[in-house]
Amino acid sequence: MNLNIAVLPGDGIGEEIVAQALEVTKAICKKFNHELTYKKALVGASAIDAVGNPYPEETHELCMKSDAVLFGAIGAPKYDNDPSAKVRPEQGLLAMRKKLGLYANIRPVTTFASLIHKSPLKDELINGADFMCIRELTGGIYFGRPQGRTEDGNTAYDTCVYTREEVERIIRLAYSYAKKRKNKLTIVDKANVLATSRLWRQVGQEIEKEFPEVETEYMFVDNAAMQLVQWLKRFDVIVTENMFGDILTDEASVITGSLGMLPSASIGIHTSVFEPIHGSYPQAAGKDIANPLATILSAALMFEYAFDLQKEGALIREAVDASMKEGVVTEDIATGKAYKTSEVGEWIVNYINNK
């Protein structure tokens, strides 16, 4: 098969972790006789620095004509600490999601036996936990207009907007995943306060009737945040709006061991993007210490979701599992010796080559 991918490392640790995921992708292509073509492009703070635009047209064109996008991370302290900056790196990621029509971000949350000791929760609460969060990605408060600040700088506003069409398509997608899993769907909202959430609940109640085989429950987001800590294993598929999904999945990632482990697939209308859920971790940039596993696992999702190459994805997961069992991991999850980002990547590539 011909695989034509766009590689967007972004900022901070993006370059280092994507480099490892790319090596793993090359090793898999070689092993399974696929022809890989890839091209790198700029996004985020590095794109602002180079061309003044966090999602340059050239990058968008490359993404549009690729079969998949492998993405690193976005964000830089110089912008985080400057609330008055007119152009922000994150706008690049949001523009990419919007222009590619990536309305769903699939975040599978699983536990790794060798990571359970890292969780702040008791073993029995997390052992065997396995659920999927489907985050709406192109609507809600991230995109609602109007947005802004008053001239005097004393008032600021963000608007949360959802249309029926946006809610319907993501809830239907969530049902399709629930049917492939345990027939259980939790729709997370804040319908006791927010009008947009009441629209979610109303649309949910309408669509629910079409899926009698699926057990549907509705849960307020504050309760969901608590239940994740208290009884994680009750969840199978969660679907929620953009910002709630952002927050709940960071929570889920530390509960299951490390923010450095969770991959995601952003899917929708045009080319899908595969990205770790963590950020750009600027303090670690260039030090070769960041955990590349979330990005390597995102490459596994890329093989599975974008190319329907299941064996290829499975071999990446197997190699990641093996590296963890062997203790060849970075400092965030190491119990003994901590390995470098590049050493972990090389170990995984070797494992694949020797399979």
Euclidean distance between CA atoms 349 and 355, whole angstroms: 10
Q: Are 285 and 10 in contact (CB under 8 A)?
A: no
Return d(Cα 224, Cα 237) in angstroms, integer: 12
308 catalytic residue (yes or no): no
Q: What is the smallest separation between the CB atom of 97 and ligand IPM, expressed in angstroms?
A: 8
> Distance between CA atoms of 44 and 11, rounded to whole angstroms?
6
Q: What, of Mn ion, ligand IPM, none, does residue 62 touch, CB below 5 to 8 Å by kind?
A: none
- Residue 166 interacts with, from Mn ion, ligand IPM, none (CB under 5-8 Å by kind): none
Is 142 a residue of the active site?
yes
Cβ distance to Mn ion smaller for residue 10 or 204: 10
Instruction: Please name the residues in contact with 56: beta carbons below 8 A apart, sequence gap of 6 or more.
Output: 41, 42, 43, 47
Task: Look at residue 75 and give the partner it binds from Mn ion, ligand IPM, none, a contact being a CB closer than 5 to 8 Å depending on partner kind.
Answer: ligand IPM
Query: Within 13 A of 50's CA, how many CA atoms are on the CB side?
Result: 14
177 is catalytic: no
What x/- string results for residues 244 through 263 when contact with Mn ion is judged by CB under 5 A? Answer: --x-----------------
Asked if 312 contacts 28 with a C-beta cutoff of 8 angstroms, the reply is: yes
Q: Is 136 a residue that touches Mn ion (CB under 5 A)? A: no
- Residue 175 a catalytic site member: no
Q: How far is the CB of 52 from ligand IPM (least distance, A)?
A: 19
If contact means CB under 5 to 8 A according to the sort of partner, which of ligand IPM, Mn ion, none does residue 93 touch? ligand IPM
Q: Is 112 left (phi over 0), alpha (psi -120 to 50) or beta?
A: beta
Minimum distance from residue 152 beta carbon to ligand IPM (Å): 27
Instruction: Catalogue the long-range contacts made by 230-234 (C-beta closer than 8 Å, 24 or more residues apart).
Output: 230/125, 231/125, 232/121, 232/125, 232/126, 232/129, 232/131, 232/256, 233/125, 233/128, 233/129
- Secondary structure, 3-state, 333-355: CCCCCCCCHHHHHHHHHHHHHCC
In the complex, minimum distance from the CB of residue 155 to ligand IPM, in angstroms, rounded to a whole number: 23
Active-site annotation holds for 80? no
- Tell whether residue 241 is a contact of Mn ion (CB under 5 A): no
Q: Which does 139 bind (CB under 5 to 8 A by kind): ligand IPM, Mn ion, none?
A: none
Choosing from 142, 175, 305, 339, the catalytic residue is: 142
Which residues here bind ligand IPM, judged by CB under 6 A?
74-75, 90, 93, 246, 277, 279
Of 74 and 171, CB closest to ligand IPM: 74
Catalytic residue annotation: 142, 190, 222, 246, 250
